[in-house]
Amino acid sequence: QVRALHKIMALFSANSIAAVNNSDTRIAGCFLTGIPGLEQLHIWLSIPFCIMYIAALAGNGILICVILSQAILHEPMYIFLSMLASADVLLSTTTMPKALANLWLGYSHFSFDGCLTQMFFIHFLFIHSAVLLAMAFDCYVAICSPLRYVTILTSKVIGKIVTAALSRSFIIMFPSIFLLEHLHYCRINIIAHAFCEHMGIAHLSCSDISINVWYGLAAALLSTGLDIMLITVSYIHILQAVFRLLSQDARSKALSNCGSHICVILLFYVPALFSVFAYRFGGRNIPCYVHILLANLYVVIPPMLNPVIYGVRTKQILEGAKQMFSNLAKGSK
Instruction: Return mean pLDDT, the chain.
Output: 80
pLDDT over threshold 90, residue 58: yes
Strands in 66-202 per DSSP E: 108-110, 190-191
Q: Which long-range contacts (CB under 8 A, 24 or more apart) does 124-127 make?
A: 124/169, 124/170, 124/173, 125/87, 125/90, 125/91, 125/94, 125/169, 126/87, 126/91, 126/169, 127/83, 127/87, 127/165, 127/166, 127/168, 127/169
Across 76-90, 147-161, 231-245, 282-296, least confident range: 282-296
Provide the whole-model pTM. Answer: 0.81
> What pLDDT, on a 0 to 100 scale, did the predictor assign at position 160?
93
Question: Does residue 332 surpass a pLDDT of 80?
Answer: no
153 secondary structure, DSSP code: S
The pLDDT, as a whole number, for residue 220 is 77
Give tens-digit pLDDT for 192-202.
Answer: 788 888 888 88
pLDDT at 4: 38
Res. 246 pLDDT band, cuts 50 70 90? confident
pLDDT at residue 2, rounded to an integer: 38
Query: Does position 281 have pLDDT exceeding 80, yes or no?
Result: no
Looking at 4-18, 68-82, 199-213, 281-295, which range is the least confident one?
4-18
Is the predicted pLDDT of residue 173 greater than 70, yes or no?
A: yes
109 vs 32: CA distance, rounded Å: 6
Return the CATH fold of 27-332. Rhopdopsin 7-helix transmembrane proteins (1.20.1070)
User: What is the side-by-side order of every strand in the sheet holding 30-32?
Assistant: 108-110, 30-32, 190-191
% of residues, the chain, pLDDT over 70: 87
